[in-house]
Structure 1
Amino acid sequence: MSTQQALTSVDVRGIIAKRDLVVDLIRTACVVLVVFVHVTMVGVAADDAGIRVTSPLQELDWYVAATWIGQVMPLFFVVGGFASAVGWRSTVERGGGPRDYVATRLVRLFRPAIPLFLVLAIGLGTATLLGTPTDLLAEVAFGIGSPLWFLAAYGITQCCVPLMARLHERAPWATLAGLLVLAAAVDGVRLATGVADVGLLNLGPVWLFAQQLGFLWADGWFARRSKVLLLGIAAAVYAVLVPMTSIGLWAPDMLQDLNPPMLPLAFLAIAQACLVQLVHAPLTRLMRTRAAQGTVFVLGRDGMAIYLWHLPLFIALNGIALFIGVPFPDPGSATWWATRAIALVVVLAAALGVARGLRRFDRPLPRLVPGSDRPAWPVIALAVLCTIGPAFAVMQLHLSFWLAAVGAVLIPMGVWCLSRTVPAVGVRRI
């Protein structure tokens, strides 16, 4: 590519995005909202009939409508796409390549999961030895393991960033259209055959589509659009979603469309990206305040740890409360809803405490020094299987002692492989 062509490309796509504090705010808000949804979705009742687990949130009349706003995972992948575009361009600028990017991102994603899988293996193994009822243990393990699908899905999208970035540079709109068609095709095959597992193929197209929207965000595409156009696009998307989710092919409950991911989530990502840009200016002003910056710094710095640990801690805290005889309000009652803010604060505080204690597991890989490189692709591929594999198995088979134990062994192995360095091509190690 000539210098003139390169300059033209920069003019078209915009200057490489610098750090956008709104991205940090949205990422942090998404994590907090996920925690809040879970503390309102899980209700523990303890009475003469025994211990019961209910879902008060899902019993509300407006729950399904609320998922059209509260389902923030598409937006999370859009934000992740913005960060991935900036990270990939930074890697290329300093002379790195795909192996460097994949290794760096997967280590940052999976290193905090090492202590979690170890604790889960010990906890589930101990509970089994103590004779915990199988049904109760399975229900608890299912709840604890439910957020771990994100490790597999996000890990897959991160592995694809170098390829998807190139496709975005060459044909951004064709790439988006192709992903949307693929997502629709997967859903079509799933619905025609009745084989739910076919939908797992959409871990690629649906979340990569949302990630590509993040690439557009990093290019400044949304910022250059008028508010009227953005609002019109968002309204049109929601207008399309209404009939889509009303004919029986897809559920109107956007949380139900999450696992496996379905086509409506790709459309939801478009609307959410447009709506975020509509409020970008006021959010930018908000992020100029010390209070907002401090909150985002405290919570955002340990966002992955909070996400990974909040459900195990929430369940453990409920167990401790039951053991010491703390009275539990009736799930769904006015008293129970009034205590949800307290539950949110307690869970966030506990998760932050755990995150601070495990900070060494959250450190990023150091940058490559001159003359060094990441391992060869076969080693990278093995490491990808060791890290993403256990999270994918939990997503598909649900958490158990054996899956936790396998993850506690394989994930550290994968992270170790990704953390190794080898001499660069043409360099001999002395």
Structure 2
Amino acid sequence: MRRVRMLAGRTSAQRERYVDFLRAAAIALVVLGHWTVTVVTYDRSGNLTGFSALTDLVWARPITWLFQVIPVFFLVGGFANAASLVSSRMRGQTATQWLLARSGRLVRPTTVLLLVVTAGSLVGRLAGVDSAEIRTVVGFATIPLWFLSAYIAVVALTPVMYRLHRRVGFVVPVTLVLLVALGDIGRLLGHGPLSGGNFIVGWLAIHQIGFAWYDSFSAEKPTMSPAGEDRRQRLLSHRLPMGRRTAALLFLVGFAVLCLLTVVGPYPISMITVPGERLDNSSPPSLALLALAAVQLGLILLLRRPAERMLRRSRPWRAVVGVNAVVLTVFLWHLSAVVVLVGGLNLVHWLPPSSVGTGTWWAWRVPWLAALAVILAGLVAIFGPVEARTARSAVGRRPARLLGRLTPTLRTVLTAVGYGAVVAGLLINSSVRMSAPEPLGLPPGALVAYLVGAGLLRLLRSPYGRTGRSGS
């Protein structure tokens, strides 16, 4: 708490606190949504099985429009990444140095999760647990990694995409939306592979809007000198209109399009994956999800001013700072909390009622959520310091002896390889079915690819003899 108070007290008056609030609020909604719809019970053979309550709660599927807030992550991620990249360039750092520094906050907590679940899998295997059961548990615990793989890929593309934003502005997201539409047409016509690119272009479209938001915010900030003003003006182009009229238009038009696509059109109403649906709105992102993103953006802009006034108060802001200090840890471990709770309940062969939608089932959601919150708090207390203490790497100062003589071009190539291997590892894990017999829980190819990429990025970040710290 002392550290949180210190960080909150050091907050610059010019900081866009609303971005941090949105990130914290979004993670809370994701966690609450996942916990609420997760149902674990016993099958006829007495084995554990699980499913989504949305399979039975058809009436609740429109509520996913409130809880599907992954687009908000990419929106605020675009803002934050643009702000960090511009700040890095003003300090004279290269895009490669920025990428290496940025990788630390994302990769370190993820590596801890993967190593812990792998160690747990080995213990389970030695205890005689079936490899398919191990994979089921690990596959469930690592579901959040599908999102993280897309986000890391978007971060890797940020220097290039921000340069495109400065040159042609909204032409970029419009083009990306059209590509998503083409992918959706392919899916509707039965050519699913045509939508493969949507996994990245859909999230990139939303991320680009975050760039435009950052430009608008930067335009409002006072500058310290004429030279600073000149440089700032060169960075500002294609700003996001922040007025209430624009916000209302985004909300109303986005909502109308969303209703047309889902209620009238071929897209499912649920914005969260429901087994048996012909299309999936979130994996990969669909036009319907992009329409939802427009609705969310409109609402965000409408609520911006009152939220900013609230965040000027010390207590709400300290809460936001505290959550953001461990926000990735919360996201990565919130389904592991379910694994821990179910494991404990299974020891006494008792689980909450699985009769979805009944009064008894809803009543048991309260202690279920409370128990999960306690367990997650414990996991965050254990693993949160890895994220909270993520040091600012001495990138570009005095590199590791082994890598000290790399040319800038080779360093850039190796950085790209590191990011690519990390993303590939996460994608391989997400693509392998949960019932596959994997003694390590994670597919060996996924684990090797990820660890090679993470290790390479770690080497490229490592200083040989620390002489200072720089931003990450």
TM-score (norm 1): 0.85
Structure 2: how far apart are the matches of 1:379 and 1:117? 23
Tell me the equivalent position of 2:455: 413
Give the one of 423, 426, 429 matched to 1:391: 426
Structure 1 counterpart of 2:105, which letter? R
Structure 2: how far apart are the matches of 1:19 and 1:326? 51
Question: What runs of 5+ residues in structure 1 fail to find an aligned partner?
Answer: 1-16, 423-430
Q: Are 2:240 and 1:244 equivalent residues in the alignment?
A: no
Structure 1 counterpart of 2:124, which letter? A
Structure 1: how far apart are the matches of 2:455 and 2:132? 32
C-alpha deviations, 1:205-262, integer Å up to 9, x for none?
A: 1111101111111122787543233112211111111222245643221113111222
Tell me the equivalent position of 2:206: 210
Q: Are 2:378 and 1:322 equivalent residues in the alignment?
A: no
Q: Secondary structure at the match of 2:284?
A: coil
Tell me the equivalent position of 2:276: none
Seen in structure 2, the aligned counterparts of structure 1 residues 360 and 279 have a Cα distance that, compared at 3 Å, is: closer
Q: Are 2:415 and 1:380 equivalent residues in the alignment?
A: yes
Q: Are 2:348 and 1:352 equivalent residues in the alignment?
A: no
Pairing 1:71-110 to 2, within 5 Å after superposition: 71-110=68-107
Structure 2: how far apart are the matches of 1:293 and 1:344? 25
C-alpha deviations, 1:141-183, integer Å up to 9, x for none?
A: 3311211012210111111111111111111121121111111
C-alpha deviations, 1:239-297, integer Å up to 9, x for none?
A: 11122224564322111311122222222222211211111112112212222122212
8 A Cα contact 2:329 2:384, kept in partner: no
Structure 1 counterpart of 2:419, which letter? V
Structure 2 counterpart of 1:208, which letter? L
Shift of 1:66: 0.7
Structure 2: how far apart are the matches of 1:84 and 1:120? 30
Q: Are 2:314 and 1:290 equivalent residues in the alignment?
A: yes
Seen in structure 2, the aligned counterparts of structure 1 residues 379 and 223 have a Cα distance that, compared at 3 Å, is: closer
Structure 1 counterpart of 2:390, which letter? D
Structure 1 counterpart of 2:178, which letter? V
Tell me the equivalent position of 1:220: 216
Structure 2 counterpart of 1:401, which letter? L
Structure 2 counterpart of 1:351, which letter? L
8 A Cα contact 1:36 1:344, kept in partner: no
Structure 2: how far apart are the matches of 1:252 and 1:229? 26
Structure 1: how far apart are the matches of 2:398 and 2:167? 30
Q: Secondary structure at the match of 2:189?
A: helix
Farther-moved stretch of structure 1 (336-345 vs 366-375): 366-375
Farther-moved stretch of structure 1 (151-160 vs 382-391): 382-391
Q: Are 2:363 and 1:335 equivalent residues in the alignment?
A: yes
8 A Cα contact 2:39 2:51, kept in partner: yes
Structure 2: how far apart are the matches of 1:276 and 1:104? 29
8 A Cα contact 1:21 1:287, kept in partner: yes
Tell me the equivalent position of 1:14: none
Structure 1: how far apart are the matches of 2:157 and 2:250? 27
Structure 1: how far apart are the matches of 2:126 and 2:72? 41
Tell me the equivalent position of 2:328: 304
Q: Are 2:125 and 1:128 equivalent residues in the alignment?
A: yes
Q: Are 2:108 and 1:111 equivalent residues in the alignment?
A: yes
Q: Are 2:363 and 1:366 equivalent residues in the alignment?
A: no
Structure 1: how far apart are the matches of 2:370 and 2:117? 25
TM-score (norm 2): 0.78
Question: What runs of 5+ residues in structure 2 fail to find an aligned partner?
Answer: 1-12, 218-238, 274-280, 435-440, 465-472
